[in-house]
């Protein structure tokens, strides 16, 4: 992993926005989620647009890097501009990378981590040498703004990293897993009207059982953190930074309480950007790097979790 970039829309949404049409307050939102602001796309602004801006930011942030030779594009999103063609194909065209393969990864909030695992595998297999991995969402376009329990959670944004072949490498051992029985607890409807006999809300907005997802996330992440560290020959004490999916600040705090991992060594994007699903981990990592928190040689655990229910993670050495 040699470079990173991010982008969010211009339209900033503060908590007071929700007070005009919901029975809620800034204090209530912050106390339960930690979120202060998030960003929403314009009506004519889409996921591919944010990806293009994130790629431009990557090149601006790391001026010695170029996209010449990129031979694969992976995009994690549940909010593509359209179901087909894929976001990766659209970006291959828009970024003028004619030699690159293109694939979307559909694993919701765990998608960016899954895509990094896939990219590592492709490079390790020798089939590819330079891969762009995006995590990008326009969740405001699939948010039910009548749902007082969840509509204030979601924001729009994109992050991207560049992975390149190297003799040493800095992307370590990975974990992947799922609890597929949790499908009805976090979904966006499509064609089928049920999941495992559970009737679905058929309006193609995000639906979640907040309490069940909260409990699963805390339990599963607390269980897997030491497993992932051990696979990399480390203990949790040797991890410099933890970057979980930023679903809710209270989830992050609960994971810290369960594991004893210091919350001050956790990088989040939830407070300023809301829950951006696939984009939350690269945005949090980007901010840690550009602010100077993350130092060269730091060991950083990435662990995504979400719809599926699914999880994936790795440890990188910056």
CA 100 to chain centre: 23
Q: What are the angstrom distances between the C-alpha of 182 and each of 151, 201, 220, 254?
A: 21, 16, 12, 20
Q: Which two tokens stand for residue 118?
A: 């896939």
The answer to whether 40 is a known catalytic residue is no
Cβ-contact 121, 115 below 8 angstroms: no
Cβ-contact 314, 174 below 8 angstroms: yes
Active-site residue identified among 40, 89, 245, 248:
245
Q: Which two tokens stand for residue 135?
A: 């995590």
In the beta sheet, which residues pair with residue 206? 188
DSSP 124-164: HHTS-SEEEEEEEEEGGGG--TT-TTTTTTB-EEEEEEEEE
Cβ atoms within 10 Å, residue 22: 16
Q: What element of type H or E holds 3?
A: strand 3-7
Active-site residue identified among 15, 40, 57, 109:
109
Cβ-contact 70, 62 below 8 angstroms: no
Q: Which two tokens stand for residue 246?
A: 């930023």
How far apart CA 100 and CA 73 sit, in angstroms, is: 6
CA 76 to chain centre: 8
- Look at the alpha carbons of 78, 84, 89, 91 in this order and tell me if their dihedral is positive or negative: negative
Q: Residue 208: name the closest of 109, 69, 89 by CA.
A: 109
The answer to whether 245 is a known catalytic residue is yes
The answer to whether 151 is a known catalytic residue is no
Cβ-contact 15, 36 below 8 angstroms: yes
User: Active-site residue numbers?
Assistant: 109, 245, 275
């Amino acid at each position: 992993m040699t470079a990173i970039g991010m982008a969010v829309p211009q339209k900033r949404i503060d908590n007071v926005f929700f007070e005009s049409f919901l029975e809620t307050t800034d204090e209530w939102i912050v106390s339960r989620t930690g979120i202060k602001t998030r960003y929403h796309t314009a009506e004519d602004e889409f996921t591919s647009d944010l990806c293009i801006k994130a790629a431009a930011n990557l090149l601006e942030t790391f001026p010695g890097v170029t996209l010449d030779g990129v031979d694969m594009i992976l995009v994690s999103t549940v909010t593509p501009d359209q179901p087909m063609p894929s976001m990766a194909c659209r970006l291959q065209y828009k970024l003028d990378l004619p030699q690159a393969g293109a694939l979307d990864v559909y694993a919701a909030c765990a998608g960016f981590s899954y895509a990094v695992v896939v990219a590592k595998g492709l490079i390790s297999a020798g089939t590819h040498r330079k891969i762009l991995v995006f995590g990008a969402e326009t969740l405001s376009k699939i948010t039910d703004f009548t749902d007082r329990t969840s509509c204030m959670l979601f924001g729009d944004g994109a992050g991207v990293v560049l992975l390149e072949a190297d003799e040493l490498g800095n992307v370590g051992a990975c974990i992947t897993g799922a609890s597929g029985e949790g499908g009805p607890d976090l979904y966006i409807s499509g064609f089928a009207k049920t999941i495992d006999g559970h009737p679905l809300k058929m309006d193609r907005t995000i639906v979640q059982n907040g309490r069940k997802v909260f409990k699963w996330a805390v339990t599963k992440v607390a269980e897997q953190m030491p497993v992932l560290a051990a696979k990399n020959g480390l203990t949790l004490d040797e991890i410099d930074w933890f970057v979980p999916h930023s679903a809710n600040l209270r989830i992050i705090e609960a994971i810290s309480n369960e594991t004893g991992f210091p919350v001050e060594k956790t990088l989040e994007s939830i407070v300023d950007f809301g829950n951006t699903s696939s984009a939350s981990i690269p945005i949090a990592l980007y901010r840690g790097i550009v602010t100077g928190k993350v130092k060269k040689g730091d060991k950083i655990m990435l662990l995504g979790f979400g719809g599926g229910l699914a999880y994936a993670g790795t440890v990188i050495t910056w």
